[in-house]
Structure formats: structure tokens, C-alpha cells
Amino acid sequence: MSAYRLYTVVPRLLEMIDQLTNWYVRFNRKRLKGENGSEDTVYALNTLFEVLLTMCRLMAPFTPFLTENMYQTLKTHLPENYFEGDSRSLHFVSFPDVREEYFNPDIERAMSRMQAVIELGRIIRERNNVALKMPLLELVVVHSDPQYLEDVRGLSEYITEQLNLRNLVLTSDEDTYGIKYRAEADFKKLGIKLRKDMPRVKKALPDVPSSEIKNVQVTGSLLVDGITLGADDINIVRYFDKLSLADKSKQYDEATDKSVVVLLDTQIHEELYHEGLAREVINRVQRLRKKSGLQALDDVVYYYQITEDPEDILATVLKSQAEFLRQTLKQDILSMAEKKAEAFAEEVQEINESKFVLAFVRA
């Protein structure tokens, strides 16, 4: 017990919970619901089950009552004698052993890089007040390492889905996308080394050409006003220079974690704008389903009636995005004029400046 340190364990457990809920479950909703076939669903559910069971065993010393409650539910799906000895309570079960065969550095590296790209994309969306429901045309991932780009390519489907994108571009062509280099230095630390020459370096460093700073990654040194600095003396930062962009029609905004540069085209295109409004309609249907206490398998027919629609935007969306709405909702949204039975749920919905009545009738 002398080595017991709660603060060394709990942060890692919390990070694991975040990885499970905000990444694995969120990314695999379709698999867990069976949209990719029953066999794939079994794999996804088995993975989730084992992770939950292992987490209960790991967290039992810290949250004994919560994990015991979860364990009692999970235990009903375990075969008899799954655990050696008494397994009536989680606290009778042994602590889990490390499963070395589950570790895969390649998968962990690729997953980490995919997460970095998605988080940077979310930052750009939030900065520009563009909701995730609004589809955007293009995201560009710029990195000089081919392995980095290959890792991202292998998980590109998740990136386009989570960031609601039409195109994902992976490239090492920094010149085309206006990527420049600048050098930053800790002048307090550098002053001890350079002494009287430090002011010269501080003045000249911002004017060093991008190409020379980039070359430091190869040569390991940088000449600044006649003074040689080593790669350890500076921090090389890549950034996006809009004026150096080859295609000036693009409206890119950038984010970087000092490893990868991500450029997101934040321009709202009309077709994508209509799809974004269609997603808002879907959101209103889902919210009313939840408010009405409906379960996923409850069979309901949807009806609508537009009450306010400046410039007929909502009517245009319902017509042009009919196929997208049908695929997502698994049925059409019908005109209220076709309703032949009394609705058990009815509510006025508002999307931007348009309003419509949404009604549910049991099938």
C-alpha cells in the first residue's frame, strides 16, 4: 500500500473511458446497430462487452458500487465458470491480467493520428461557427511523412464521416497549399549561450526565409546573421500562409498541432447547405421521437406541413434531399394532406426562418 497513488491511476482510467465513449462507441454506432451485417455486429458487440467487463474489474477499487451494478448486468451474458472461484460479486473476481497480444503499435499510431486530424478539424469548425451538421467540401491534411499520410488514409472513412466532409486530400506538397516554416526560440535560455550576440539573433530570426528553416530538418543547423544555431536551439513551426496558396479560390482555415497541418475549406456551397438543412430536419424527427418515448424499432409514419418558408428554402430542401432523407430515416416524410389517421405526436418545428408542423402516426 506504500506505493498506492490514486492520482497516477484515475487520470488514465478517465482517458480510457473517453476513448471508449467518444471514439469507439461513437465511431461504431452503425456496426453496433447491425447496419454492416450480423457477423460484423457480433464482433463489435463482443469487443465492447470485453472492454466494459475489463473496465469494471479495473475500476472496482475506485468506484465499487457503480462497477458492481454494471457487473451484475454483464454477468448474465457470461458462460458458467467463466471466472475461477466465486464470481457472485465483482469484488470476488481477480484483477485482470495484461493481454500482450492486444497491443499493436501500428494500430495505436494510426488511431492517434486520425484522432489528431479530427480534433483539428473540429477546432476549425468551432472557430468559424460551422456546425457539424453542415457538410463541407474539403479537408486537406499536409505532412511530409508518407507513413503519416498512409495511416490517415487507412482510417479516412471515419474522418470524412465525423467531420461531415465530401473530400479528404492527403498530401506532402507544402508549396501548393501555402505551408511555410518559421523558427521560434527560447531567448532567455539562448541568451545564456549566446550572451552579447543574442540581440542580433533575436532581431534577425523573424526574417530568415522559410526554405532555410525547413532545411534545418536535414542539416541540423541554421545560420542567423552570421551566427550558427543548432536544431536544439530553435523550435520549427509550420504554418499556413494564405497568400502563398496556389488556388486562391479556396477559403481554407488552418489548424496545427506542430506535427500535422490541417486545412478546411469553410465555404458553404448551396448543395451542401441544402444537405445541412436536411440534417436539421432529421434532427427534429429524432428529437420528437425521443420526446414521444419511442424506441428504435417502433414503426411510425412521419408527416409534415410547412407553415412559414421565406423564399421556399425548406420546400426546396425536402424535394431536392428526398433520397437522402429516405435513406437516413428509412422512409419518406409525407405531406400532411396524406394523413389518414390521428397523430399521437405533433409539434411545430423551426429551422432558421422556416417553420413546419411535424406529426407522427402509428403505422
At 62 the pLDDT is 86
At 184 the pLDDT is 87
At 136 the pLDDT is 95
DSSP state of 62: T
At 1 the pLDDT is 52
DSSP state of 80: T
Residues of the chain with pLDDT under 70: 1-4
- The model's pLDDT over 271-299, given as tens digits with 9 standing for 90+, comes to 899 999 999 999 999 999 999 999 888 89
Q: Among residues 86, 102, 110, which one has the least CA distance to residue 50? A: 102
At 120 the pLDDT is 97
At 218 the pLDDT is 86
At 2 the pLDDT is 67
Judged by DSSP in three states, 103 sits in coil
Q: Among residues 254, 245, 266, which one has the least CA distance to residue 141? A: 254
Write the single-letter amino acid at 69. Answer: N
Write the single-letter amino acid at 275. Answer: E
Q: Among residues 322, 319, 306, 304, which one has the least CA distance to residue 360? A: 304
At 126 the pLDDT is 96
Q: Among residues 281, 277, 298, which one has the least CA distance to residue 357? A: 281
Judged by DSSP in three states, 72 sits in helix
